[in-house]
């Protein structure tokens, strides 16, 4: 047991982690809580169709072109080529089954050799 | 009904599972590396296991971990997590009409289980909320299958990451598979020119605003993209083949 369970467990940290699970629930269901009838303004409804793709792009872009909060100043970065390969694969095989899975596989097949092998 | 035996038997449940299966390897690698990262940053095994099992929010977990270890006040930790999770609040506005027929407890459960990819896949499959019982049953079954597999993959792999922390090579950068999963989803959403514009505006804005604290750059980027696209809808670009429109 002692070999597996490392570190000292702090009760305050445990409490904070439980509360963190609470923020997952609260943030994702914030607008599910009140049953009061209300309608979104029409322009918000229209605008929301852009939210999913915008959210993905906003999460992805900094992870690809920045390192620790600073934009990269080199093209010798494995992430750039992995993303390029993934996107090309996606639009080449578009319509085929499991194309997202292929995007992940092709991207990693480019990423790992460049990153591990060449240190990009 | 959401968490109910009839949902598990519905054909849409299997469809939801199948759609998530295509991105599950990315989630798995990302979950694994998040579990590894929590242990390597110095959390105790019990703390890391608890975090991996119940929090179910990758970016919030990574943002909260250093604060937890530094002994930051609990309200600072929660405010940080809430800000990192603000995009989910936008998702909850969008998903509200789909789930309000559920009782509160199930709405909270459905919300908790709805990560980025379930939200994206769900609104892609169901552009409009259903208004009759069979339609709602189908949508909830899809959501349960989709988000259930997402939760299971993330949690199991997170726990594995905690357990195997010292055996998993971190220098391989396996966590990048998670970004590639999101990238594949982005491509499948990019079905028209306006959505490409939304993606580009959001990507550029997120990088430009990266210095904002608490990862508020993400929410800023979403708002910017939505506003730019709404404005462009109102005043469409004059020519379809404008020189600035190279698309991708």
Mutate which of A29, A38, A113, A117 to test chain B, going by most B C-beta atoms within 10 A?
A29
- Averaged pLDDT score across all residues of chain B: 89
Which of B247, B62, B210 lies closest to A60 in space, CA to CA?
B210
3-class DSSP assignment, residue A71 = strand
Whether A14 shows a pLDDT value over 90: the answer reads yes
| Residue bearing tokens 């085929």 | A96
Token digits for A71?
């934009």
Q: Which of B186, B216, B230 to mutate to test the interface with A (most CBs of A within 10 A)?
A: B186
Q: Determine the pLDDT at residue B237.
A: 59
Q: Which residue is associated with the tokens 């934009």?
A: A71
Return the SS3 of B233.
Answer: helix
How does A93-118 read in b/e, with b if 16+ C-beta sit within 10 Å? eeeeeebbbbbbbbbbebbbebbeee
Q: Is B37 helix (H, G, I), strand (E, B) or coil?
A: helix
**Encoded tokens for A43:** 């322009």
pLDDT of residue A6: 82
The kind and range of the H/E element at B85 are none
A47-to-A66, B157, B206, B224 alpha-carbon distances in Å: 28, 35, 18, 11
Residues of chain B found within 8 Å of residue A80, distances taken between Cβ atoms: none
The pTM is what? 0.83
Of all residues in chain A, the one with the smallest CA distance to B189 is: A53
Confidence of residue A38 (pLDDT cuts 50, 70, 90): confident
From chain B, the residues in CB contact with A50 under 8 A are 194-195, 198, 225-226, 229
Phi-psi region of B173 (alpha: psi -120 to 50; beta: other; left: phi over 0): left
Given a contact cutoff of 8 angstroms between Cβ atoms, the answer to whether A82 and B205 are in contact is no
pLDDT recorded at residue B232: 93
Contacts of B184 (CB under 8 A, 6+ apart): A86, A90, A99, A100, A101, A103, A104, B22, B23, B26
Cβ-based burial of B15 (10 A; exposed 0-12, middle 13-18, buried ≥19): middle
Angle subtended by helix axes B216-234 and B193-208, to nearest 10:
140
The pairing of strands A70-71 and A66-67 is: antiparallel
d(CA B152, CA B109): 14
Question: Can you tell me the distance from the alpha carbon of B217 to that of A107, in angstroms, rounded to the nearest whole number?
Answer: 25
Cβ contact (<8 Å) for B180 and A107?
yes
Judge whether B116 is closer than 8 Å to chain A, CB to CB. Answer: yes
Q: What is the rounded end-to-end Cα distance, in angstroms, of chain B?
A: 42
pLDDT in tens, B100-133: 999 999 999 999 999 989 999 999 999 999 999 9
Share of chain B above pLDDT 90, in %: 60
Residue A88, helix vs strand vs coil: helix
Q: For chain B, what percent of residues have pLDDT higher than 70?
A: 95
Determine the Cα angle at A26 with ends B128 and A100, to 5°: 50
Asked if the C-beta of B214 comes within 8 angstroms of chain A's C-beta atoms, the answer is: no
The CA-based diameter of chain A, rounded to the nearest angstrom, is 59
pLDDT at res. A3: 64
Q: Which residues of B115-140 are buried (b: 16+ CB within 10 A; e: fewer)?
A: bbbbbbbbbebbeebbeeeeebbbbb
Name the more confident of B190 and B241.
Answer: B190
Whole-number Å distance between alpha carbons of A79 and A115: 8
Q: Which residue has the tokens 């949902």?
A: B7
Mean pLDDT, range B43-61, rounded to an integer: 92
- Domain ranges for chain A: 34-117
A112–B92 C-beta distance less than 8 A: no
Residue A67: beta bridge partners? Answer: A70
Nearest Cα to Cα of residue A23 among B159, B75, B198: B75
Going by pLDDT thresholds of 50, 70 and 90, the confidence category of residue A45 is confident
**What are the φ/ψ torsions at residue A22 (nearest 5 degrees)?**
-60, -40
Q: What is the pLDDT of residue B238?
A: 55
ipTM: 0.86
pLDDT at A37: 81
Predicted confidence at residue A49, as pLDDT, reads 86
pLDDT tens digits, one per residue of B176-200 = 888 898 899 899 889 899 999 999 9
CB contact under 8 A, B57 and A107: no
- The answer to whether B229 faces chain A, any CB pair under 8 Å, is yes
pLDDT score recorded for residue A72: 93
Contacting residues for B70 by C-beta, under 8 A, at least 6 apart: none
Measured distance CA(B138)–CA(B123) in Å, rounded: 13
Mean pLDDT of B62-84: 84
Q: In which band, very low, low, confident or very high, does the pLDDT at A84 lie, cut at 50, 70 and 90?
A: very high
B residues 137-196 closer than 8 Å to A (CB): 163, 171-174, 176-177, 179-190, 194-195
What are the domain boundaries of chain B?
5-189, 191-237+244-248
Residue from A110, A86, A80 nearest A99 by CA:
A86
Q: What is the pLDDT of residue B136?
A: 97
Q: How far apart are CA A27 and CA B64, in angstroms?
A: 15
Quick one: tokens of B120?
Answer: 């994206």
B7-20 pLDDT per residue, tens: 999 999 999 999 99
């Amino acid at each position: 047991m002692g070999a597996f369970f490392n570190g000292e467990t702090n009760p305050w940290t445990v409490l904070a982690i439980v509360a963190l699970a609470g923020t997952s629930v609260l943030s994702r269901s914030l607008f599910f809580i009140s049953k009061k009838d209300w309608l979104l303004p029409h322009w918000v409804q229209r605008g929301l169709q852009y939210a999913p793709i915008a959210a993905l792009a906003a999460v992805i872009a900094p992870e690809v072109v920045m390192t620790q909060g600073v934009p990269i100043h080199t093209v010798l970065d494995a992430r750039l080529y992995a993303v390029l390969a993934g996107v090309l694969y996606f639009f080449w095989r578009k319509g085929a089954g499991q194309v997202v899975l292929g995007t992940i596989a092709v991207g990693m097949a480019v990423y790992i050799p460049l990153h591990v092998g060449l240190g990009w | 009904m959401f968490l109910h035996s009839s949902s598990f038997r519905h054909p849409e449940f299997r469809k939801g599972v199948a759609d998530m299966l295509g991105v599950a390897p990315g989630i798995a690698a990302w979950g694994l590396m998040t579990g590894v990262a929590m242990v390597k940053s110095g959390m105790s095994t019990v703390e890391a296991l608890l975090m991996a099992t119940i929090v179910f929010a990758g970016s919030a977990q990574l943002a909260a971990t250093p604060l937890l270890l530094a002994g930051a006040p609990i309200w600072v930790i929660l405010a940080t997590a809430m800000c990192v999770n603000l995009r989910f609040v936008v998702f909850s506005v969008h998903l509200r009409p789909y789930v309000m027929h559920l009782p509160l407890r199930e709405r909270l459960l459905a919300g908790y289980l709805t990560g980025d990819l379930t939200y994206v896949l769900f609104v892609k499959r169901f552009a409009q909320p259903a208004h009759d019982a069979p339609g709602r049953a189908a949508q909830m079954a899809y959501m349960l299958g989709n988000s259930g597999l997402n939760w299971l993959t993330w949690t199991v792999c997170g726990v594995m990451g905690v357990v195997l922390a010292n055996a998993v090579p971190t220098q391989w950068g396996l966590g990048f598979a998670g970004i590639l999963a999101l990238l594949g989803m982005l491509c499948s959403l990019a079905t028209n020119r306006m959505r490409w514009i939304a993606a580009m505006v959001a990507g550029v804005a997120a990088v430009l605003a990266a210095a904002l604290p608490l990862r508020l750059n993400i929410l800023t980027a979403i708002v910017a993209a939505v506003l730019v696209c709404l404005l462009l809808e109102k005043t469409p670009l004059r020519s379809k083949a404008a020189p600035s429109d190279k698309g991708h």
